[in-house]
Amino acid sequence: MLVGTWIAFPFALFAGALVTVQAGSNAQLRQSFGSAMRALLVNYVLGFTVVRGHVLIARVPWPMTDRIGAAPWWAWIGGLSGAAYGMAAILLASQLGATTLMALAVSGQLLISFPFDHFACSALKPIRPDGLGWPDGNRS
């Protein structure tokens, strides 16, 4: 396990709070720039800059070409999903407000997360809804 459960839960909660902050700040960028696409581009350039800085400082190597090619087609939709979410949030945040936007976004996440966990979609392992997993491999 990457991090213990005692730290994973508050970290996930904090990350979720940042999604609301992101929607609000991106909506403000949209208003300031007069364009949703410019706001989204600035959002991703800033995010890329932070990740790239970490990669350089931590000396994380670039994956080998054969490893990039080994990824299945559906492994690449994460970036597309992020862009689609970012655009939706920028366009809808001012219209719906933070509470409604986040309630709908979380509802969509919950609707898709159960089958993803239950059927181990993509690279996710089967996890019980209570977060305890199936240590014996038995899904019942």
pLDDT tens for residues 13-67? Answer: 898 898 888 888 989 999 999 999 999 999 999 999 999 999 999 999 887 877 8
Give the rounded percent of residues in the chain with a pLDDT score beyond 70.
83
pLDDT tens for residues 112-123? Answer: 887 877 777 766
- Would you say how long the chain is, in residues? 140
Residues in Cβ contact with 42 at an 8 Å cutoff, skipping those fewer than 6 apart: 29, 33
- Contact indicator for 31, 21 with CB cutoff of 8 Å: no
φ, ψ dihedrals at 32, nearest 5°: -70, -40
Alpha carbon distances (Å) from 113 to 8, 10, 80, 94, 110: 17, 19, 18, 26, 5
Give how far the C-alpha of residue 117 lies from the chain's centroid of Cα atoms, to the nearest Å: 16
Q: At what angle do helices 77-96 and 5-33 cross, to 10 degrees?
A: 60
pLDDT score of 78: 84
Q: What six digits make up the tokens of 5?
A: 């459960």
Q: How far, in Å, CA of 49 to CA of 138, rounded?
A: 43
- pLDDT band at 131; cut points 50, 70, 90: low
Residue 108 has pLDDT above 80, yes or no: yes
Residue 138 has pLDDT above 60, yes or no: no
